[in-house]
Structure formats: structure tokens, C-alpha cells
Amino acid sequence: MKTLSKIFAIAVILVIMILVTVDLHTMAYPVEEATANATIQVDPDLPQLFADKGEAGYLIYFRDEADLSAAYEMDWEARGKFVIAALQETAVNSQKSVQSYLEKEGVKYQSFWIDNIIVVENSSLNTFRGLMSFNEIEALISRQVMQVIEPEGEIVNTPYAITAVEPNIDHVGAPLVWSSGIRGETMVVASIDTGVRSSHDALVRQYRGTATGSHDYNWLGAVNDSAIPVDDYGHGTHTMGTIVGEDASLANQIGMAPGAQWIACDACDVVAGCPDVALLSCAQWIAAPYPIGDPSSPEPSMRPHVVNNSWGGCELSYDNWYQGSVDAWHAAGIYPIFANGNAGNCGYNEPPGLGTVGNPARYGNVTGVGSSGESNGQYASHANWGPTDNVDTVNPQPNWADLKPQVVAPGVSIRSSTPGSDSQYQDGWSGTSMSAPHVTGLVALMWQAGSCLVGDYATTETIIEQTATPIYYDDGSGDRSPNYATGWGEINAAAAVQGAIATCDSIDTIVGTVTDDNTSAPLADVDVVATQSITISRSTQTDNNGEYAIGLVPEGSYTVTASLFGYLPAEVTGVSVISGTTTTLDIALSMVPSALITGYVTDATTGWPLYANVVVEGTTLDAWTNPETGYYSLYLPLGLTYTLTASAWSAGYDMDSAQVGPVTNDENVDFALTVDSVACVAPGYVDTSLFYQEHFDSWPPAGWTITDNGTSGCPRANDADDISTGVSSGSEGNLTGGTGTFVDADSDNCGYGTSMNTDMTSPIIDLSDVSTAALTFRYDYRHFGDQLGSVKISTNGGTDWTVLRSFSADDRGPRQARVDISAYMGSANTQLQYSFVSPGGNWWFQVDDVEIRDGNSCVPQAGGLVVGNVYDAINGGVGFNGAEVTNSEGVMVTAVETPDDPNVDDGFYITFSPAGTQMLTATVSLPGYNPVVKTTNVIPSDTVRLDFILGTNPGVDLSDDDAMAGVVGEAVVYTVQITNTGDLTDTYALSATGWPASMPDFITVDLGDMVSFPVTVTIPTGQGLNITGTTMLRATSQINNLVYDSVSLVTTGTPVKLYLPAILKP
């Protein structure tokens, strides 16, 4: 575990250390040799938890990592033993001092070797402070609770139904695989879920404990301590049924791999969710199962081959708290499969849109699974989408390393086993939880068929992806496959198993390069498809070098096609693939006649250039503007009409579209983007008229009151931990688009069946002098049943209320509302009210950032934009994401990555600055990085560039000639030496004060070199005879304007000498 994505890094720890300053002499544990470690990463939520409750639980992550690289070359038996031994040794050696400290502090904890973690149940703030002295600790993060990815749709009991092979199982081709004698025998599958009813008719024969006569090594009740397999929820029994389910009579063939054996770990229940201790316990047990109640006797030879995970979270960014466990599974050869998550569970609309995949399905090194229909081969709208922000480094496919899901499988109205009785089945279960088990069962089938694949995640996943049936879907970039909704497509069991067999017999590949036939330049993103028949088709895309490789191709004759927008498609028939060989096929594509489209993207009000993306709708074409000039260019094929849409990189602008065509010649298309005046967050814009604001940054907010209109005992805007605070930092987090504290009327946290009827009312607001105004607020409203949210206004101190807006259907954040309230202005007794009625314990209504403002008050400041990059000299000059750039007015922006634009480096920033000569500062709170200050001339209504390099130590030394003398009104020339004493080649700006002087404006000097240059000083006239003056010469580093050297040139001026004729005496 190298980084913890949800934690502020070292910059934050300095603040945390101030909050948790500790007198080491008063600690119960001896720390004579310990020093405070400023590199421990601390979850920013922890200090607030201690402040609220005086104690908190947390996870301790340790720095040391076991080197597991050798495992990948070992056989199954040796591999498992090596991995467990290495992990255990690392944990014992690195955790012992901290364990001793916690024991002496009387703190309950649980140690894990699967990811070198200690989970602290609860400790005082003083104990937490003491941990800051242990250098072996890498990070301290808050406790984690995940959720079962609950089914959607109507569930129907069908206890006596006889359907033989279920439609979903038949649809993906499992019966074709069974007919060849491959049913998953010799494979062991596992699930981390809500448990399993092991006596169920469809599961009892496949339970490994039935064969061994014992639950030892076959079951772990991590969340409920049950010594026998149970399922008090139903989810785990249903998912296991889809993996291996089949009853003895073959009347209910509900599973993919009915010949495989199963084991299970219960980590989740309906009350506790899926707590971190249970999930880590399961992760460790999966790697090395142990007898009931005896974790000291792990046996890695009893580990499963593949593990199904139909649980996760709803975070919208990568959170690697479970990453170490997944990495350990990989090293042990265990294949990890995770459900992508459901829109309904996370409160998203359907379809949920880009980037909604949850963790850990978001991890780059797991197979994330989305949903298709029961048997229609189409995308199911409940399934969350990619891409992921944690790219695949284990098995990346060209240009799709961020793809999620990898594949989809049936996930609508799935019938499977449920734990009500040994013969109970339920239909109607929908969700990615139902889809993932199909892939888990498929891996069991493939590994039985192709034993060389056992433990080979990358090759197995590639086969699954390349044999999937493509599902074309518009994920915002037009109908395409792959895409971020259906991945590579729907699993095809027959093709995947055939691919496994072929792989272990021989590996056949078609490789080549696709180029432009005119320029010979390589072409990226070309779709290359090799087809032998309807059922045998493989596809890929070219990489940035134009290269492609289609693997796992059965022997035979193929037709290979290559296509790319803007080029004529190419087709090559009769491509022969011979077993055990690699076939090379290079393809040249001809560009269709095209025209050059150019233009500028600017701010509609100020005219300053904007960094923006211009997209050609319905195609894969786009172009980024030059951040300094706003200029873009792209080629479009002739004869067609296109819609171009420009969107600014900076937040706070509306998009603009223009239609072009039919294209016959080169054209110029400019865009002038208007500012979103409601949000008013575009760089350089300010809201000049704000009548009232409440951002709920402290609780209770001044003057606001909460009223209970019911008798349920759950009346308030609430917190998941403390219902009386009226503010939520609850499990769903701030979904409004605001930051920090927010209002959350959340009946879901009150418990199922509990009613809520609550109002939150503002103080009296004097708007007697206001004639036109708008109310703005951020919100997230998740609807269920008969609940109702509303926003009201009163002009007579709360006697009468008018509803401004009501909410009776999902209206999911992040959203910002703007309501014209001009008709209610002129009163000195105005009040606002947010109401929420939930008669049965449903969902929530979140509100943040309430403002009353003049709707026409978002205006630009006088000045211009500054753009540029911050680079990291210590780490090879890469873009420094996370560095901060502050302008002369103290406004700070953060340099960030630019993954979508290959022409702009990471560490990119945009900020506003007043016009004229301005000084900007780049900083990062890490050791070895000093602040860098640079000066630039900001041009009104324009954009200038200013780059920074952090992590350098620039230096300069000036030396000069001795003092010189000259005639008044004339000039003398000094020879000055400048030496670069820094650690990089630098350019120095030269300037002078005092007596007038001329010299070069800039001089560039290589590292360690000295350069001589002339300085001409003019001696002024009219100041008397024999005068002496000083010229102060200064050389300023252009890497950091804080670094400079000066030298004084002292010059004496003498009067003009007169030569009179001599008079000789006679």
C-alpha cells in the first residue's frame, strides 16, 4: 500500500500534528527513541470524530510491504504457502511495537497480515496522539463500512417451480460448455457476502463441507460468529446459486458451474452492513482458510480459485483501503470479481452516467461486472458505469486501461436459491450482484478446461473480454463497443471456454501496425476485428503507436477489418492463422477527403482565451484548445454536417454548440462561452451583490431552528452518528455539490419504518430594500414512496408560507437550484423554510449553500488569466499534481492532471490575476520543496503563461571589474561575470538602478558555468565636477524570482580636459 487516496497527504499532517500535539513524557508507553513522524498520513475525518465523541476507531496501515513477486513463478501449492508466510512475517515484524503500545494502553484491536493492518476498535485521543511517534506507521484512516449491493425490482417466491436451465444461464451458453463435459469440477469458488444456506437442495452437494464432513476450512461467520453456514438475509444464498446451483433432480439448474465446490465467508448483514473487520477477516480467510474458531492454523492449500464479491461502496473516486487484500489474492493466484454497483443503491438516476462505479469494483486489478438483461443481450440501466480513476496496470487493454465494467452478465429478474427453506427459490432479483456470480462461475469453467490458466488473472480476463459479445451503447461518445456501460460486452461462456482450451494448447496471435497510407504515420484508436464465423470473432484497438495484437485466435482463416472515423474502412480476407504461430498483418488506411476546421474559444464577456474541449458530436473526434490562445484545429470528412460543442476546462461556464456543414472547404468556427451566473465560479468572476448566505459551516447555524411536526422520535435533519446535531456527515456524504457541513433530513438513518416530519426555518431576513432577487441552494433529493420535500418562503415572519419548489421524484445531486423570489421582496420579515415529510423511513433531502442574491451580479474583475504548469524537479520534471499556485491577491488554485489532453502536461493550473506586473507563488507542503515566486505581466482580457519548477535550488553569483572613471557625459564599459551556482540551467533577468546602464535583458547560463557580459554605464552631466555614482546591477533567477544577486558598479566622472596653446617668452 503506497498511497491512501482518501487521505490528505503530508500537507495536512502538519495541521493534524498541531491538533494532536502530545507530551511524550506523559505517555504510558516508553518512547525515548521515538520522534514525531511528519510523514504519517491521517484521515481528515478523524480529528472531528475525536472532537465530537472523545474517542474513535480507526485503521492503522504499516509501511512495510512483503515482496510477493516471486509467487507468480510458483506452482499452486508452493505459491499459496509462500504468499502467506511472507505476509505473516512482514506483519509480525512491523506491528509488534505498536501492538505492545496498544496493549499497554488497554485498547482493543485486531491485527491482520493480509494487508499489514491493525483495526483499533476505539481509543482515546491521547492514545491516538501516541501513535504519531511510530515511524513504522504509514497511515491512520477512519473505520470503513461497505454495503451489500442490494437487488432491485420485485422479488417473487417460486418455491416449487421447475424450470430446468434458467434463461440467464442458457443465454450466456453455459449448457453448451456442460455438454462437452466441463462443469467446473476440481475448482473451488468462494463468496464474501451475507452467508449461504449450505443445506439448500441446489447447493448442498456442491458445498465442500458436505464432502469433507466438516465446516472447518469451508465456512467463516466473520460478522455473526456463526459456527455453521447461515444466511439471515438471502443475498449470499442467491449469488452462490448463480455460481454453482443445481439440485439433484436437475429440475433447477440455476448455476454456471454446477460441478465446482464452494466455500463462503459471511461479512455482511442487514443491520451492520459490511464492516471493515469482517471484510478484512474474510479477505485473510480466503487467502488461507482455517478451522472454525482457530485462526492460528491457516491452510493456504484450502484456498479457493476465484472469489465473488457482490458488495461495495458508492464513492465517486478511487479508495484503496481494501487494495492490499486484493493484491494479496492476486499473488496467491485467486481471481477477484466485484459487482460494479447499482444506481438505486447509490441514489443515482438510471442510467447512472459516467464514473459511478463503486469501490472496490473501481480497482484497476479486479474484474468489474455490470448488468445485461435476463436474456436480451442489452444493457440494464441499473448498472453503474466506468470509467475508473485507478487504471489497470495488471492487464490493461490498449486505450482502455480505465475501462469499467470489464464485461456484463445477466442481472435482471434472476431466479436463484434463497434461504427461506431448502427448496425455496426466488425470481425477480435484479442488480449487478446477480451479474457478477455469472463471471465467477465462468472462471471456474475456464480453469477446469484450461489448467494452464489457473492463477493467471491477466490471460483469463483477456479471454473473457475478447470472447464477449459486444453490446454497442452510447455512453456519451456515440454508440460504440467497448464502452463505459457494457465494457467489452456480455460474457459468452462457450467462446471463453474454447479460448481457454486453445490458449493451453497453443497461443495464436494476429499482430500488426495500422498507418496512414499517405503519410505512413501510425494511427491510434483504430478498431481492428478478426472474424472467422458468427461465434468466433476477436477485436481490439491500436495503441498510440498504431500497433495492435489480437490474441487467443483459434486456427483458421479470418477476415480482418480496420476502421477509424475519417478514414475509409479496410478489409483483408483469407488471413491464415496456423496453430502455434504469430500472424503479422499491417494495414494502411486511406483518409477520406477532409477540411480543416479552426477557431478560437473565448469568454463571451471578457474575450480572454479559454482552455476548452471541442467535441464533434456522434464521433470520437475532439480537439483541445491551446490554453494561452484558445485556438483549436481538427479535420472533418467532406460532405457531412456536424455539430461541434465547446466546453471550458474551468468550472463555471455554459457549453456552446455550432453546426457545421455540409463541409466543403476549410472553415473557421469560433465559440464565445457565457458564464453560469448562478454558480458564478468561473476564474476572474465575482458576485457583487449577496443579500444573505448560510453555508452551514458551523452547527447549529445562527438563527436557524428545527421543528418536529411528528411524534416518531426522529424529527430532525440528522447525522448518522448523532441525530441531535442536525447535520450529516453520514454514510452517504455530501451529495449536493457543496463541501463540508450540510443539512440532511435523512429518514433512512432513522431506521426502516420510522416516520419523519420536520421543518428547518431560517432567521428573519431583512429584504425591505431589495426589489429583485434569486434564491440559490445546492441540494440532493432521493425519493421513495410518499415522501415529500419542499422549499417555502414567508414575508410575515412565518405566519403564512408559500411553496417555492416541491420535490416528489428523484432529483439527484450535485444540483444547484435558482428560484426567482423578486415577487416576495420588500419585506423586513422574510424567512425561508426547508421541509421534509417521510411517512415510512424512506430516503433523504440534503441542502447546502443557501444564498439570496441579485441574479445579475456575476461580473468579471479587471485583469486576465494566467495558465501554466508546475513541475517536480526532484522526480524527473513530471507535472506536480497537488501543488498550489497563489496570485497576488491571495487566491489559491491547485495544479491538477490533464489526462484527456496529450498536449498539456500534468500539474496544470488556471488562475485569475489583476492586470500589470504581478507576482505569483507556487508551493507544496513537502520536505525539499521551497516556495517559488515568479513575476509576469498580466494583460487585460487576455491569457498569459507562467510555469514553475519546484524542488530546485537555483543560485547566482555576480562579480565585476574594479571601479572605473570616465568623462562626464560619456560612457564606461564594465565586464561582469555571472555564475550559475544552482542545480539546473537557469535564465537570469538583468536590471539596473542608479546611474543609467545598458546590458542584455536576459542571460542563460548552464549549471556550474560562468558567462561574461558587458554593462555600459553612462556618466550623467550637469552634476558638477569629479562626481561619483553607483549603478546597482541585479540578476534574478527565472526559476525562482526569490533568488537573485546584486553587485555595485562604482563610477567616477571627471570634467573635460582643455588643452591650451603654450605662450613662449621672447
105-129: pLDDT as tens digits: 999 999 999 999 999 999 999 899 8
CA 875, chain centre distance (Å) = 22
591-612: pLDDT as tens digits: 899 999 999 999 999 999 999 9
Select from 356, 359, 316, 355 the least CA-distant residue to 336: 359
Q: Which CATH class is domain 167-496?
A: alpha beta
CA pair distance 410, 168, nearest whole angstrom: 6
Give the helix/strand (H/E) hosting 872: strand 864-872
The reported pLDDT for the residue numbered 47 is 80
Domain ranges (residues) in the chain? 10-143, 167-496, 507-589, 604-673, 689-856, 861-950, 956-1054
Whole-angstrom CA distances from 93 to 39, 99, 112, 582 are 20, 11, 13, 48
Cell of 825: 421582496
Select from 808, 855, 809, 800 the least CA-distant residue to 833: 800
CA pair distance 385, 797, nearest whole angstrom: 47
The reported pLDDT for the residue numbered 27 is 25
Please answer whether residues 370 and 378 qualify as being in contact, where contact means their C-beta atoms are separated by less than 8 angstroms: no
* CATH 2.60.40.1120, applies to 861-950: yes
CA pair distance 695, 680, nearest whole angstrom: 16
CA pair distance 470, 407, nearest whole angstrom: 9
Whole-angstrom CA distances from 979 to 157, 242, 619, 958 are 85, 74, 55, 7
* CATH 3.40.50.720, applies to 507-589: no
Overall pTM > 0.75: no
The reported pLDDT for the residue numbered 312 is 94
Residues facing residue 627 across a β-bridge: none
CA pair distance 678, 692, nearest whole angstrom: 14
Residue found by looking up cell 557580459 in the block = 1013
Select from 165, 206, 173, 166 the least CA-distant residue to 189: 206
Q: Which residues, including other chains, have CB under 8 Å from residue 471's CB and lie 6 or more apart?
A: 372, 377, 378, 379, 408, 481, 486, 489, 490
Q: Which CATH class is domain 689-856?
A: mainly beta
CA 256-258-262 angle, to 5 degrees, is 100
The reported pLDDT for the residue numbered 215 is 97
CA pair distance 9, 20, nearest whole angstrom: 16
Please report the beta strands in 53-168, taking only residues with DSSP state E, as ranges in sequence order.
55-62, 109-112, 117-124, 137-142, 145-148, 156-157, 164-165
Please answer whether residues 1051 and 966 qualify as being in contact, where contact means their C-beta atoms are separated by less than 8 angstroms: yes
Residues facing residue 509 across a β-bridge: 582
CA pair distance 446, 465, nearest whole angstrom: 13
For the domain spanning 604-673, the CATH number is 2.60.40
Fold: same for 604-673 and 861-950:
yes
Output the average pLDDT for the chain: 87
Cell of 729: 456527515
Q: Which residues, including other chains, have CB under 8 Å from residue 548's CB and lie 6 or more apart?
A: 398, 511, 512, 513, 514, 526, 528, 540, 541, 542
Taking the chain (1066 residues) in consecutive chunks of 10 residues, what is each chunk's mean pLDDT?
Answer: 33 30 27 41 84 88 94 94 96 95 95 96 91 90 86 53 78 93 94 96 97 96 93 93 96 96 92 89 97 95 97 92 97 98 90 95 97 95 95 88 96 95 93 97 95 93 95 91 96 94 75 94 90 71 88 79 91 86 92 94 96 91 94 93 95 92 94 84 84 86 86 44 36 77 78 73 92 87 82 95 88 81 91 86 83 80 95 88 89 87 92 94 86 93 95 89 86 94 90 94 93 93 78 92 90 69 48
- Which CATH topology does 956-1054 take? Immunoglobulin-like (2.60.40)
